[in-house]
Structure 1
Amino acid sequence: MMRRFFAPLLALGLAVAGNARAEDTLSPLHFQSDGPLGSIDKAAAQRGFLVYQTVCAACHSANALHYRDLEALGLTPDQMAGVAAGVKLADGSAATLDSPFKDPAMPASAFGGALPPDLSSIAAQRPGGAQYIYALLTGYATAPDGVTMLPGHFYNKAFPGEQVAMPPVLRDNAVTYADGTAATQSQEAADVAEFLTWAADPNLSTRHQIGLRAVIFFAFLGIVAVISKRRIWREGR
């Protein structure tokens, strides 16, 4: 019931959040956050947060994140407060901006003893980051002939060992995007991968911007040093 109330509220908030804009990330598949000069695609990360909160948060925590952190994705204080107010904590109270993302506290028995991992830094923990998350979420298939599946497991081409306890969770139109982006399974997977990349490193864009400026500065400084050295040697002859 809470999720039915929450999704329209979040979609309304994201419709007017910041200056993020829709961008095609699937043709071909690419992530703006990839590479040494990459930056977070805020439009995709906002959509990914909707996917996380609507689908993933039922089983996975993200305890390193607080609702106030959503300001970095372009949400205003009122929008963040609206998102938090739609989340009921374990004690029945509504979350606040200072609350960490709600922990669903799933019992291990729910997935045959496999606890759903916290997603706060999952993109940094897995080789490939966003690419791996996307491949995992879209990698479910029928097990090939001759493969014996463990009880309660699902065949997934991207998961080490190709058997995972998490069932396929994404489907077309699992959410409705306020920016008009078609909510295909692939788009949802790409968007939540970008959101989890941001969650693992909220300062990624800033770090890369500072790094680029530092490289430009030191390159300029090097050129000045070379020119000055040549001038000094020329005048000293």
Structure 2
Amino acid sequence: MLSKVAYTTTARAVRASSTFRPVRFASTQAGPFGANRKAAMMWFTKAAAASAIVGYGVSNYVLTDDRMAPVYKAVSEASTELKKKAKEFGIELEIPFTVAHAFSTADHGLHPPHYPWDHYSPWKSYDHSSIRRGFQVYKEVCSACHSMDYIHYRNLVGVSHTEAEAKELAAEYEYEDGPDDSGQMFMRPGKLTDAMPKPYPNEEAARAANGGAYPPDLSCIVRARHGEDDYIFALLLGYCDPPAGVNIREGLHYNPYFPGGAIAMARSIFDEVVDYEDGTPNNASQLAKDVTTFLSWASYPEHDERKKMGLKTLAISAMLLGLSVWWKRFKWSYVKSKKIVYRPGKFDEV
């Protein structure tokens, strides 16, 4: 039997030797995708590349349209037969992904092709020289019928013109202002705060001058049309003779890109209809490209600023993400790489 002193000494020895001791080790345990994280990432990279290559080869050389045509036909016949059988029992069966909705060119217009606009790139801004030339095309050609109520001369400053040039452009027109001290309205030269002049005083006058058709305002025309830049460019150059069997009434013109095919606006973009100040070739496609770029800027005036802000946001977010990953690994590395080991103490029996 142990004495009180011997028991106390033995208990202290056990407590001193039987402790939990944290031991650090590197987190390089093998997993199902490799011996460490680097090997696992390499495995996933190779798997993704191989999947892309195999998918491309299968879709372009194995599952071609000619080989899949019998499959499509068999599926269509089977679904039709299944619907008939279901209808015999009074069930209206709709099989997903087997119904195609037809697109009518006559009702919606021919879908415009996609053109490689520079400002579509995430790293590029508008071509401001093209915006300046496009404004010239609008001023000399389009402004005869179309208004731009939401674009003011001050919007051109720093985009396509200097402040002095914009003031000079505005001063070419007179605007009604007032009243003066005698209560009378008066005409004054235009200022930077004035909007683009209207070609007609009201909608009725516009319709009367265009055979009943109302020329739309072009301030946001690119944003308001499906296809945006591609549609405007294709529409301006898409005039042609109507195909056989298509009759266009007097006063209308055939354009396959316009819904219905018959448009009241006659073709107005021709070669050399505008002489550029900078000597740029003034063929019809160049004129259409420039005025489309100008109208696109008018619809999205914040385009360049939005892209710059987006690039700044991505750069800052990338830095913060890297800092967050480093901080997380720094704070959790001790916990994730710690191993708890129990080592029972040894003592001599008394």
Residue 165 of structure 1 pairs with residue 264 of structure 2:
yes
Residue pair 1:40, 1:198 contacting (<8 A) in 2 also: yes
For 1:183 and 1:57, locate their aligned partners in 2 and report how far apart those are by CA, in whole Å. Answer: 18
SS in 1 for 2:120: coil
Deviation at 1:41, TM superposition (A): 1.0
Aligned to 2:67: none
Deviation at 1:38, TM superposition (A): 4.7
Residue aligned with 1:124, SS: coil
Q: Which amino acid aligns with 1:85?
A: A
Q: Which residue of structure 1 lines up, in the alignment, with residue 199 of structure 2?
A: 104
Aligned residue runs from structure 1 range 117-132, under 5 A: 117-132=216-231
- Structure 1 pair 89–169 and aligned structure 2 pair: CA distance change class (3 A): farther
Question: Deviation at 1:150?
Answer: 2.7
Residue 125 (structure 2) aligns with: 39
Shift of 1:130: 1.3
Equivalent runs, 1:1-237 vs 2, <5 Å: 29-89=115-175, 93-105=188-200, 106-236=205-335, 237=338
Determine if contact 2:206/2:215 at 8 Å carries over to the other structure. Answer: no
How far apart, CA to CA, are the structure 2 residues paired with 1:101 and 1:163?
Answer: 29
Shift of 1:87: 2.6
Identity %: 37
Whole-Å Cα distance in 1 between the matches of residues 227 and 119 of structure 2? 12
Q: Give the Cα–Cα distance (whole angstroms) in 1 for the partners of residues 187 and 169 of structure 2.
A: 16
Q: CA deviation at 1:111?
A: 2.0
Shift of 1:86: 1.8
Task: Tell me the C-alpha RMSD between the 2 structures.
Answer: 1.9
Partners of 1:48 and 1:127 in 2: CA distance: 21
Q: Deviations over 1:153-206 (max 9, x none)?
A: 101121111111000011111111122210111100000000001111111011
Cα contact 1:154–1:166 (8 A) shared by 2: yes
In structure 1, give the amino acid aligned to 2:167: A
Matches of 1:178 and 1:30 in 2, distance apart? 25
* Secondary structure, aligned partner of 1:167: coil
The SS at the match of 2:189 is coil
**C-alpha distance in 2, partners of 1:69/1:103?**
17
| More divergent stretch after superposition (125-134 vs 105-114) | 105-114
TM-score of the two chains, using structure 2 as the length reference: 0.57
Q: Whole-Å Cα distance in 1 between the matches of residues 324 and 187 of structure 2?
A: 64
Give the residue type in structure 2 aligned to 1:95.
G
The normalised TM-score by structure 1 is 0.83
Q: Name the CA shift for 1:114/1:49 in 2 (closer, same or farther; >3 Å).
A: same
Give the counterpart letter for 2:129 in structure 1.
A
Q: CA, structure 1 residues 92+166, in 2 after alignment: closer, same or farther (shift >3 Å)?
A: farther
The aligned residue for residue 60 of structure 2 is: none
Task: Give the secondary-structure state (helix, strand or coil) at the position aligned to 1:209.
Answer: helix
Q: Alignment length, in residue pairs?
A: 210
Higher strand share: 2
Distance in 2 between residues matched to 1:151 and 1:92, nearest whole Å: 40
